[in-house]
């Protein structure tokens, strides 16, 4: 785990190295000649790729803080180097111009890294959004099916309840009829007994 974390921080170090070493290239890189532009383009693509990987490995928040810190640190170091070794960095030009020029290099390369991070983050968010939309669609379909099943279950329960009620009513009617019949038979039996008793008493 520690090795993996250490490996992830190699790329910010690589970005800082690219920004720092760009100070030792010819300042005519900003003249956009054919060859100079090709070198500058390669540097920009490398920084873009490094920024992309930083976002993938470290994340947008932490990676963004690291890249921003690298831009500030590289710019500060560049200013110190240009100030103390101005003979090497185009002595014919003004110190202020050199500081601005080399600072812009570091800022531009850092901005390319941030751009790479932003593109990677947008693509990742779009993928997450697509996955979320697919999950939401499946959830809605499942919910709709569950709703239909619930409605069907409720209908079946209502039908079953009606059947049970009807059976209960029929059973109750049968019991009532039997009760009435038994009561009628008992009355007839009692009446017959009374008549029989009177007949015997009359004898």
pTM of structure = 0.63
Average pLDDT for 159-185: 87
Q: Following DSSP, what letter does each residue of 16-56 receive, concatenated? A: HHHHHHGGGS-GGGGG--HHHHHHHHHHHHHHHHHHHHHHH
**Average pLDDT over every residue of 108-128:** 91
Per-domain residue ranges for the chain? 2-134
For residue 13, pLDDT beyond 80: yes
As to burial, measured by CB atoms within 10 angstroms (0-12 exposed, 13-18 middle, 19+ buried), residue 67 is buried
What digits encode the pLDDT tens for the residues 68-88?
998 898 888 888 888 877 766
* Three-class SS of 76-142: HHHHHHHHHCCCCCCCCCCHHHHHHHHHHHHHHHHHHHHHHHHHHHHHHHHHHHHHHHHHHHHHHHH
């Amino acid at each position: 785990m520690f090795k993996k974390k250490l490996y992830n921080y190699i790329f910010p170090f690589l970005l800082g190295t690219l920004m720092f070493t760009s100070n030792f290239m010819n300042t005519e890189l900003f003249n956009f000649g054919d060859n100079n532009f090709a070198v500058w383009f390669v540097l920009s693509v490398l920084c873009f790729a490094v920024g992309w990987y930083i976002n993938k490995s470290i994340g947008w928040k932490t990676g963004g803080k690291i890249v921003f810190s690298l831009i500030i640190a590289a710019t500060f170091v560049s200013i110190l180097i240009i100030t103390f070794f101005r003979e090497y960095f185009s002595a014919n030009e003004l110190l202020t111009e050199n500081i601005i020029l080399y600072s812009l290099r570091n800022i531009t390369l850092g901005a390319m890294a941030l751009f790479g991070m932003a593109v990677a983050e947008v693509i990742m968010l779009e993928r997450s959004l697509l996955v979320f939309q697919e999950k939401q669609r499946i959830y809605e379909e499942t919910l709709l099916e569950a709703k239909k099943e619930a409605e069907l279950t409720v209908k079946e329960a209502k039908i079953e309840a009606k059947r049970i009620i009807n059976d209960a009513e029929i059973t109750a009617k049968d019991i009532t009829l039997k009760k009435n019949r038994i009561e009628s038979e008992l009355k007839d039996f009692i009446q017959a007994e009374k008549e029989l008793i009177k007949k015997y008493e009359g004898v």
